[in-house]
Amino acid sequence: MTTTDQPSDHAGARARLLDQPGLTGAVRRRALSRLADDWLAGLYAAAGAPSGTALVAVGGYGRGELSPRSDLDVVLLHRGRLDPALPERIWYPVWDGGTALDHAVRTPAEARAVAAEDLKAQLGLLDARHLAGDPELTAELRSEVLSDWRAGAAGRLPELRASCLERAERHGELAFLLEPDLKEARGGLRDVVALNAIAASWLADAPRDGLDAAAERLADVRDALHLTTGRATERLALQEQDQVAARLGVLDADTLLRQVYEAARTVSYAADVTWRSVERVLAARSGGGRVRRSRLFTFGGAGRSNGAVGRGGVERTPLAEGVVEQDGEAVLAQSARPAQDPVLPLRAAAAAAQAGLTVSYATVRRLAAEAAPLPVPWPDEARAQLVTLLGAGEAAVPVWEAYEAEGLITRLLPDWERVRCRPQRNAVHVWTVDRHLIETAVRAAAMTRRVARPDLLLVAALLHDIGKGWPGDHSEAGEVIVRDVAARMGFDKADVETLALLVRHHLTLVDTATRRDPDDPATVELITGVTGTLSHLELLHALTEADATATGPAAWSSWRASLVSGLAGRAAARLTGAQQPPAEPGWGTEPTVEQERLAIEAARTGEPALTLLAQAGPEAGGTEPMGVRLTLALPDRPGLLGTVAGVLALHRLTVRSAGLRELDPAGAGPVLLLRWTVAAEYGELPEAARLRADLRRALDGSLDVTRKLAGRDAAAPRRRGITTPPPVVTVLPGGASSTATVLEVRAHDAPGLLHRIGRALDGAGARVRTAHVSTLGAEAVDAFYLTDPAGGPLDDGRAREVAAAVREALA
């Protein structure tokens, strides 16, 4: 051995390198690799290796990325017979020096055979780098391994993905763990290696913006962890975080974790995008359909597309105005103009999530670059689209993550930046603050049937911990913030106060239920004093449960649930007894001259009379989507509500709100006056003349609305879609109205929903005297005031029959 080959000399040189001031990061990792290169090359020469052999670095060492405690992964290549003692003459000095060594001795053919059977070995060989000996032998191996990898990519990449899924299940998500594994967790260094392997296959490449910097940051933290512990550990334990932060010059452990989380999210998002690209390529090669995707990577939908054919023969199925489905993702329509349509980012997100899709990488990038800022306060549609996105539940998560990766979330909600990637040093929490907020909204989406205002529940779930980015009690800080955020979103004063109450008191119900005597009247009075109304109590109860179940398994139990439910029930009984019955919904004013004119015309002609007031769409300079206010008068007859709703559905008009009342203009006979606020699902609004003609045809029986809608539904593309809570149909207590039976329907909005309800009511023989229809995001909350033929409330038996008929129609 030469003097430079002695283990002690190498160890000393390595120690001096690690102590060298200012030498950190990738520069130090490369320097450590060069030092190891020189040492191993010297050992190879001193061992008397013959021609026809080569020493090759593989894996992380092959990439020149040695951390302070990394193993040395090497392969001794040879042709023909080899002196059995030669490898030991190289390996023993390494072992004597205390350096971990992963070694193999193989011919190129043997190396290729092992790689064909062992994915991990093949991935390591993709990074093969020549150290000493015959360079042509190394080049031959590299060329053949890369060729094998590319030729077998269609089989190996699904295997690689399966291993990534299994690893993520075992180690969790780096972006949320308090003690993450920097290498093995999802979003860690092992995923960076997988992305490089995909790129080497030539089938797809990862988005590179920020990826290299993220990988370097994770590697820097890993280096600091090795130096802090003196061990080759990948787990960033709590007790090491302050020292690691200090070694990196970071303010504190929380700042360190936020940097780690941000880097992990960049890697995870790149993996999501890349695996979707791989899926599309492999599906195209095989000629098969789309593959169902796992939540660990994406929530893309499966199914056929029979929509319009766009440029290049690609099928594009409309999802919403300016948004279409293509290749299992939501993309912008060719006519979309992000710079002229400030609601488009939220509309695209909501449409994608409701369809069980994600938004394509190129689309998110374009929206981030071109979309106009939302005006303040937000237009009504923007608020509705946010609620629709949140109401999609689990399917909203990958869409939200994609938007957050490109900065769209903090652009919509600037206060989000303070909670983004913020760790929670509480053993019961399994998520960062921002992800906990999203998970709470996911849980709340399953509870929307329990409340009369699902939109307020979902927004409160999203914002309930927004104060955790500020000093002091986060509930008090959050109350201040949410007042400002809700006002900017365009909620009215009453709704702003409700959201502020929910955020301020989101812990009150569970704290009171678990820490106070449930039988003490003062306990119930505390809750009724906070909530004030039954509606507020319902919202707070649902938010409490959503918050706790999204926190982690330790935060919610059957015992806690029973205590909270019991207290909420006692408070509800108290509030129900003290609350005045609600007023019957009406339009609040006497009929206008125009409404009287329509009613007289309908009574005189016996045909529908209507007016359409179109609103300016984004391309015309308006802030609302292109829509229409429709006022319609018809001579009263059974089944009008369902028939009119069906005609609107045929014209792809979505109902945002509707009201119904009776008039008797100048004693000419009863006329039903309906006022609708509708919007085009996509495309142009229907012409008034065509709408009027179809209404006439539907009323005289020449247009079978139900059959037309059923045929269109049968021809629609089949998507996986999302799971929504089942409809809830309730006959409200008699105190809700003294002159009618009030039937409340809470359901997920869908084309033709109101048509089905109307037909069921008509088929059950119930007369709709008045109705209040509202669509809050993607959730419908409708109240129908029903009477019998004599004009009085339905008896209890008839009311149950009518409710059962509506439930069956919505099943």
Of the candidates 635, 630, 631, the one whose C-alpha atom is nearest the C-alpha of residue 672 is 635
Q: Work out the average pLDDT over 438-455.
A: 97
pLDDT > 80? residue 424: yes
Of the candidates 650, 642, 636, 752, the one whose C-alpha atom is nearest the C-alpha of residue 691 is 650
pLDDT in tens, 790-801: 889 999 999 999
pLDDT in tens, 457-496: 999 999 999 999 899 999 999 999 999 999 999 999 999 9
Separation between Cα atoms, residue 388 and residue 551, nearest integer Å: 23
pLDDT in tens, 80-129: 889 999 999 999 999 998 899 999 999 999 999 999 999 999 999 999 99
In order of 379, 689, 799, the CA distances from 343 in angstroms are: 8, 30, 42
pLDDT > 90? residue 519: no
* Token duo for residue 358: 């994600």
Between 58-62, 503-507, 669-673, the lowest mean confidence (pLDDT) is in 669-673
Between 158-167, 629-638, 756-765, 776-785, the lowest mean confidence (pLDDT) is in 629-638
pLDDT in tens, 175-214: 999 999 999 999 999 999 999 999 999 999 999 899 999 9
pLDDT in tens, 64-80: 999 999 999 999 999 98
According to the model, what pLDDT value does residue 303 have?
A: 31
Q: Under 8 Å CB-to-CB from 781, ≥6 apart: which residues?
A: 452, 453, 454, 744, 745, 746, 774
Phi-psi region of 63 (alpha: psi -120 to 50; beta: other; left: phi over 0): alpha
pLDDT > 90? residue 427: no
Separation between Cα atoms, residue 548 and residue 560, nearest integer Å: 10
Would you place residue 758 in the very low, low, confident or very high pLDDT band (cuts 50, 70, 90)? very high
Q: Work out the average pLDDT over 661-680.
A: 81
Instruction: Report residue 706 CA to chain centroid gap.
Output: 34
Of the candidates 542, 449, 356, the one whose C-alpha atom is nearest the C-alpha of residue 747 is 449
Give the DSSP H/E element, type plus range, for residue 462.
helix 454-463
pTM of structure? 0.89
pLDDT in tens, 614-668: 654 444 444 444 457 888 888 888 888 889 889 998 988 888 888 888 887 767 6
* More confidently predicted of 587 and 3: 587
- In three-state secondary structure terms, 29 is helix
Share of the chain above pLDDT 90, in %: 70
Separation between Cα atoms, residue 800 and residue 731, nearest integer Å: 7
